[in-house]
Amino acid sequence: MNQIKTTILLTLMSLVVLFTAQTLGYNLIFSIFLAGIFNFFIYFYSGKIALSSTKAEKIAEGEYEEVTGIVKYLTQKEKMPMPDLYIIKNDQPNAFATGRNPKNASVAVTTGILKVLNRDELEGVLAHEISHIKNRDILVSSMAAMLASTISFMSRSVFWGGGNRNRNTHPLFFIVALVAAPLASVIIRMAISRTREFGADKTGSSISGNPLALASALEKIEKYSKLPMHVNPAVSQLFISDPLKALTGGGMRKLFSTHPPTAERIRRLKEDASGIRYR
C-alpha cells in the first residue's frame, strides 16, 4: 500500500511539472536536466553531508558491539551487504540510514539512543533503517527532490525573464503555475517522505518480527527528544525521527513535516502486531 501511495504521489508531482512547463512556456527536458544536475550532488553526497553535519564517527572494530551484532544479524537475514556503521555523540535518541544502494550504505546511531533503548527496541530501530536501504528510499527521495526542484526552477526563472509569457495562457493558470505549483510540489514531496517512513516502519517490523519493540522505541525517542540536533535541514528526513522537531510547531506542521506523527506510527505498528484496529 505504501509503495502504491508513493507511486501515485510521484505521478501527481510529475503532472504538476508538466502543467507548470506548459503554462509558463518552458522546455521541459531542459528544466529537468538542470534540476537533475543539482540533485545529482544530493543523491550521491547526501549521506556524507548527513554524517559530516552530525560529526558522526565510524565505529571501529570492537566498539559498540551490540550495534554491530544486531546489524550483522539483520543484514545476513535479509541477504544484504553489511553497511558502514557510525556513532553520533549526541544525547538526542535518533538514527538514520543512507546510501544510493545496498552496496553503498551507512547506518548511524546516536549515543543517546543507546542509553534509552533496550536491545529489542534497538533492533527494531536498526531494522527500520535497514529497510530504508532495502527499499532504496534514497532513490525515491531523490526523484521527488528532482521533480520539486524542476518546478521551483521554472517558477523562479520567470522573474528573470525565463519561460514564454507571450503564450495564450489564461492569467489564472499562470498564477497557479507561478505560486501554487511550487507549494504543491513541497507538500507532495513531504507526503512522499512521510509515506516512506510508514513503509520503513512496516518493513522494518517485519524484518525484526517485533512491531511492538519498534513502537516502544518510537515512544521513547519522542519522549527524550527535547533538544534539536545540529544537522543540515536538507538531510533531516533521513532520520527515524525528525531531529529538528523541537524547533517546529504550529497547525501547518503536519502538512510540511518530513515525518508522520509519532502517535500515528505507533498506532499502525500496534495494529500490525495485534490485528486490532485502534482509533
Q: Annotated catalytic sites, by residue? A: 129
Distance (Å, rounded) from C-alpha 251 to C-alpha 238?
23
CA atoms within 13 A on the CB side of 185: 27
N residues, the chain? 279
Give CA 7 to chain center in angstroms. Answer: 15
Crossing angle (nearest 10°) for helices 181-208 and 262-274:
40
Per the DSSP assignment, residues forming a β-bridge with 171 are none
- What's the first-to-final CA gap in the chain, in angstroms? 20
Q: Which of 49, 51, 69, 50 is closest to 61 using CA atoms?
A: 69
Do residues 182 and 155 make contact, with C-beta atoms less than 8 angstroms apart? yes
Crossing angle between the packed helical segments 262-274 and 211-224, to the nearest 10 degrees = 160
CA-wise closest residue to 152 among 21, 9, 12:
21
What DSSP string runs through 201-240?
HHHHHHHHT-HHHHHHHHHHHHHH--S-----GGGGGGBS
State CA 211 to chain mean position distance: 20
Residue that has been written with the C-alpha cell 533503548 in this structure: 117
